[in-house]
């Protein structure tokens, strides 16, 4: 299959995301990792920081790292890509992902969402939990790539 868009907030990028990208690359020739610019949220990391974190963690010429604002389906149309890749961890992800995929299909019937299971080592890892644990001084080593770990430490030590 030619290309897919892997959209998300990636605040921060975790080993769960990395695992999904690695799996995705076995299925697609090219992946566009698309960071959502969400004016309604105050992120921990800026878009530029997130882009750098992903770049530092994924060294593969088949990956493009980009950001987008507004509707995902409009972005996909602009990029001329008709497949959206999303990860599924536990059953709890399903309801939200089901809504998202169906809303996107309603908005743009040509766009198909493909789900892949997150690597079994990272089923419980989410950016939200990583942020919370790191902000409270907990160790998130092994849950995020090394360069992200360094960034998190700097962020929470006032660096
Ligand atoms: O990593 P996340 O926060 O779970 O990713 C959610 C994302 C970025 C895939 C989703 O919020 C999104 O596509 N937002 C763009 C706005 C949009 O298209 N909304 C309508 C679809 S319901």
Tens-digit pLDDT profile for residues 27-83: 999 999 999 999 999 999 999 999 999 999 999 999 999 999 999 999 999 999 999
Contact 19, 146 (CB under 8 A): no
Range of the domain at 35: 3-124
What is the tally of structural domains in the chain?
A: 1
Q: Domain for residue 89, yes or no?
A: yes
Q: Is residue 149 part of a domain?
A: no
Considering the candidates 50, 51, 86, 89, report the single residue annotated as catalytic. 89
| Sign of the torsion angle spanned by Cα atoms 149, 123, 34, 68 | negative
**Could you give the CA distance from residue 77 to residue 59 in angstroms, rounded to a whole number?**
26
Which tens digit of pLDDT belongs to each residue from 112-150?
999 999 888 999 999 999 999 999 999 999 999 999 999
The verdict on residue 144 lying in a domain is: no
Nearest Cα neighbor of 134 from 12, 36, 52, 38 is: 12
Q: How far away, in angstroms, is 157 Cα from ligand 1 center? A: 30
> Which residue, judged by its Cα, is nearest atom 17 of ligand 1?
71
Whether residue 27 is contained in a domain is answered as: yes
Nearest CA to ligand 1 atom 4: 8
Q: Order of strands across the sheet with 30-36?
A: 63-68, 30-36, 3-8, 83-88, 112-117
Q: Which of 50, 51, 127, 131 is labelled catalytic?
A: 127
> Is residue 145 in a domain?
no
DSSP string, 31-100: EEEEEE--TTS--SS-HHHHHHHHHHH---TTEEEEEE-S-HHHHHHHHT--EEEEEE-SHHHHHHHHHH
**CATH number, domain with residue 52:** 3.40.50.620
Q: Does residue 85 fall inside a structural domain?
A: yes
The active-site residue out of 17, 51, 131, 151 is 17
Residue 148 lies in a domain: no
Residue 157 lies in a domain: no
Residue nearest to atom 5 of ligand 1 (CA): 8
């Amino acid at each position: 299959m030619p290309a897919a868009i892997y959209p998300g907030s990636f605040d921060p990028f975790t080993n769960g995301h990395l695992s999904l990208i690695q799996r995705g690359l076995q299925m697609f020739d090219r992946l566009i990792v698309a960071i959502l610019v969400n004016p309604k949220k105050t992120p921990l990391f800026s878009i530029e920081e997130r882009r750098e974190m992903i770049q530092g963690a994924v060294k593969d010429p088949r990956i493009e790292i980009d950001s987008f604002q507004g509707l995902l389906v409009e972005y996909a149309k602009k990029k001329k890509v008709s497949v959206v890749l999303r990860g599924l961890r536990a059953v709890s992800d399903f309801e939200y992902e089901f809504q998202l995929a169906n809303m996107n299909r309603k908005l743009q019937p040509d766009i198909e969402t493909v789900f892949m299971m997150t690597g079994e080592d990272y089923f419980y890892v989410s950016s939200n939990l990583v942020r919370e644990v790191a902000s409270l001084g907990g160790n998130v080593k092994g849950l995020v790539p090394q360069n992200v770990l360094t960034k998190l430490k700097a962020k929470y030590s006032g660096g």
